[in-house]
Amino acid sequence: MQTLSQLRSGELAGISQLKLSENLSTFPLEILTLADTLEVLDLSHNALSSLPDELAQLSKLKIIFASQNNFTHLPEVLGKLPKLEMVGFKSNQITQVAQESLPAQLRWLILTDNLIETLPNSLGERPRLQKLALAGNQLTQLPTTLAQAHNLELVRISANQLSQCPEQLLNLPKLAWFAFAGNPFSQVKCTNDNNSDTSSVPQLPSTSYTLKEVLGQGASGVISKAHWNTPQTQFPEAIAVKVFKGEVTSDGYPQDELQACLQVGYHPNLVQSLAQVNEEGYLALIMSLIPEPYQNLGLPPCFNSCTRDTFAQDFSLPITLISNIVKQMQDVFTHLHSKQVCHGDLYAHNTLFDKQGNIIFGDFGAATRYQMLTAAQQHKIQQIEQRALKHFIEDLLSICAKEDKESAAFYTLQNLIE
């Protein structure tokens, strides 16, 4: 992170990326001195409510972040930036998005956790649009023009006020990662069938365990190692606990994540849910502790890859291991959809593996239960997630060991994709 004093002194001349967080209430016009080089501008965690028309001078700007500020509308000047392709205004108080505010080259739009009720038709008229994050707003409908967004691959519309399933999204040819829980149309009615009854999962008090060291955290909560406060006969001794943050995340409501986890039930390649904690102001999931030899299979997408996973430099796997991983993920896919749960985030970076190629798949933050949809809609949801599985296999083949790329097993997996 840089400082405003560095910018004013000329110390930052010629930089391509700038990040300022100094409780700014007005846009520092000194930023315009970087017009010839600036490509990434991050003004998150300030007190800004507007951007000046002079911002249009940043003709090389590709990415702008202004999350956690005081904007009530998406600035129209953004639409005047010729190369701008990524816009992130998460956690403001935005109620209005004008047609003119969406840049022509828009590829990635993040408006999570705002107060937006409607979106302009111009959103569907941005042919490069790949990633759309709208969770945690007040949307009652989506533009019908999104049916034209043929390059759209990832959509988050959870935690809104949509009363009908947006059919214009279900038919998109490239959509592969879709989260839509927490809307009126996606509410699950209580029934006695196996797919929707999560009440049989034990509920325990938070006093039954003590949290130890943190193992990791994501948008929806913090996962810690834990130990039982009293001896247990019903559950394994080694456990981890995910404590949800209790607020809307980039994927939706924590309660929806918890219910999806419980509905999925047991599978040997899934993080095993043991019990739930549902107390006032405290929501948690008790899980089996994953053995130490497991490591992350992939890394999350970057700005350039947008929706596709990345991998550590020089990381590769033999085709035998890849084939074993794919077989297990196919089985996980079948299990999830037999339980009528769309994971919404089927990625290598949400997958752990060991040296033998055994996998454990998790992170249900974007998961959605979909038994409330019609049979035709359910089929389209399965097709969407099938594309994510296809990309998962493609990404693994991209890191296949060089000596295995002419093997029969490699071509078998390629044919599977096709």
Closest residue by Cα to residue 259 from 330, 113, 382, 158: 158
- The answer to whether 288 touches 238, Cβ cutoff 8 Å, is yes
**Residue 242 labeled ligand binder:** yes
3-state helix, strand, coil split of the chain in percent (to 5) is 30, 20, 55
DSSP string, 53-104: GGGGG-TT--EEE--SS--SB--GGGGG-TT--EEE--SS---B--GGGS-T
Q: How far apart are CA 129 and CA 89, in angstroms?
A: 16
* Encoded tokens for 263: 């509905």
Encode burial over 369-378: b for 16+ CB neighbours within 10 A, e otherwise: bbbebeeeeb
Q: Helix or strand or coil: residue 158?
A: coil
Q: Which amino acid is at 72?
A: T
Q: Name the residue with tokens 């107390």.
A: 279
Annotated binding site: 242
Binding-site residues from annotation for ATP: 242
